[in-house]
Structure 1
Amino acid sequence: MKFSALDPKFHNRKGFDCGVEALNRYVKQIAGQDQKRNLSKVYVLAEGETIVGYYSLSAHSVSRENLPEDIKLGGYQDIPFLLLGRLAVDVKYQGQGFGDALIFHAFKTTQEAAERVGILGIIVDAKDESAASFYEGFGFVRLQGSSRRLVLNISALSTLLAEVNIQNK
């Protein structure tokens, strides 16, 4: 298995089923168009043409007043982040750690972007409370005024990646 950008001509999007129709529809019908228009980048974990899971990233900003106190910065009103728009694992592969692999790949991609452009971290809109709990397990914090929008600043993200690298050595 390997990570790569979604290739609509190669990857079998029709065979993907994560059990959530909106996430299935996105990868099958919308993701290729979003990439073509540079609205988002979609990364897949795949075995050949079979998509095990995917996630999308795009640029976004968060109003300063909605951020947790410990990451509010200066006088800027809108703070740049990457948006983890979607993350899904095919039902045949759920419960095997592929969701963790996807999110850590998203973290690494975010860290690499932060080395090149100014972003404060990554945000996500959890689909439900179960998804919100999943993200909180990685250190995401809920934004003020939103029950399911969560944020992880770049320093916390970098610490997580460093801890994973130490454990894997």
Structure 2
Amino acid sequence: MDRWFKESISDQIKRNRLRVWCAVSDDDDLIGFYGLSAHSVVPQSASALAARRERHPIPAIYLAALATHIAHQGQGLGGALLADALTRSYSVSNDIGAASVILDVLEDEAHAKRRFFYERIGFMTLDPDHHPNRMYMPMKAVEAQITMLAQPLSS
């Protein structure tokens, strides 16, 4: 993620392919970020999202990246960034229409931990036969997740 952030993110932003939101420390050090872009999936690879006899691509919002600095992991920053990404995605879906938020779980040494993080939030595998690392959350579930996150904690 570090290399991707430094080497290709600005090109993607300049080409209007991606938008990135960052979390910074009190000292203005980058401690986390996420990136979103427009996306679509063909109904044949997204039967869980496709309406019966749907032929056209299904609009979605793609969570291209979500990362926290190693020194800040385990402190809730990743969850806060994801909550912001979901809130932003839901808002955009109300303006232009999007069926879900989609992401690809990076396959590396932390894959299982990362996948569990997304599953715990409510993401599900989109196409287990062809793309087992592609996950999605329907916009209705995103709305419910946002509502739950907005509830005050009971004492």
TM norm structure 2: 0.87
1:58: how far off? 0.8
1:163 pairs with one of 132, 148, 153: 148
1:168: how far off? 5.2
Q: Which runs of 5+ in 2 are unaligned?
A: none
CA distance in 1, matches of 2:43, 2:112: 24
Number of aligned residue pairs: give it. Answer: 146
SS in 2 for 1:122: strand
CA distance in 1, matches of 2:55, 2:95: 20
Alignment-mate amino acid for residue 43 of structure 1:
W
1:91: how far off? 0.9
Deviations 1:50-101 (A, max 9, x none): 11100111111112122243x3225233101111011110011111000000
* Cα distance change on mapping 1:161 and 1:96 into 2, 3 Å: same
CA distance in 2, matches of 1:149, 1:40: 18
1:109: how far off? 0.8
Aligned to 2:36: 57
Q: Pairwise mapping of residues 70-149 of structure 1 onto structure 2 (< 5 A)?
A: 71-74=49-52, 75-127=54-106, 128-144=111-127, 145-149=130-134
SS in 1 for 2:96: coil
State whether structure 2 residue 20 is matched by structure 1 residue 42. Answer: yes
Answer yes or no: is the 8 Å Cα contact 1:129–1:148 preserved in 2: no
TM norm structure 1: 0.80
CA distance in 1, matches of 2:55, 2:92: 20
Alignment-mate amino acid for residue 55 of structure 1:
Y
- Sequence identity percentage: 26
CA distance in 2, matches of 1:167, 1:72: 35
* Cα distance change on mapping 1:58 and 1:166 into 2, 3 Å: same
CA RMSD of aligned residues (A): 1.6
Answer yes or no: is the 8 Å Cα contact 1:42–1:54 preserved in 2: yes
